[in-house]
Structure 1
Amino acid sequence: MKINSLRPLLRTLDMDGTIAFYTGILGFTLAAKNDDWGWASLYKDEVSIMLGKPNEHWPFDKPSFTGSFYFNVDNVDELWEQVKDKTTVCYHIENFEWQMREFGIYDNNGYLLQFGQDITP
């Protein structure tokens, strides 16, 4: 068995606001949206995510994901400059001892998004 990719589905009560966050602030492209299903698909480069409104199969009142979504990027400083004043910052950009330069922000739902670049000498 081969796993080809991982495409997380983020639950949201604000579909249009979430699409606007990911497309307007992070530069994702809306690939598909189905209002009847309460579903959307977005992508940027090699990364895909899905958005879904709550349904009867999954109780939901707010995001409860206990982890974060970590994005490896090419130019973390450029991205930081683009988003730092448009989002709620979890932690500012810095170099870490694990040889990553990274920062963390929250999306409009409260999901933690981390962006990092390898700085191994």
Structure 2
Amino acid sequence: MRTKLLHVRANVKELDRAIKWYKDVLGFSVGGSWPPENPNYVHFEHESGAMFALMEHKNYPTPGRFNFYVDDVDSLWERLKNKAEVVEELFSTAYGSRKFTIVDLDGNELGFVQG
């Protein structure tokens, strides 16, 4: 399988505290947040390469998430859904993509996204 790693997410205990650190210490700028009504996720502005994001995670500390972009997420879902622990079943997002998330043997979240 060929993939393109475009999105890496670190899980954090307190999102607002983490955002402040990334902004004040590293000079990052928030590029977007989700969900709009009560964000628990932000990603930072970037030029190219992988997008870096933070998510306040109820089970902190947990591994982060690596989102791989693929050409045919539906076929990949059919191939993998019974071979790994599923975190999120295949669904269409509000921002126009389709994705699902599984975990590897060590609990790392692997997202597969199209669109």
Normalising by structure 2, what TM-score?
Answer: 0.47
Q: Which has the larger radius of gyration?
A: 1
Normalising by structure 1, what TM-score?
Answer: 0.45
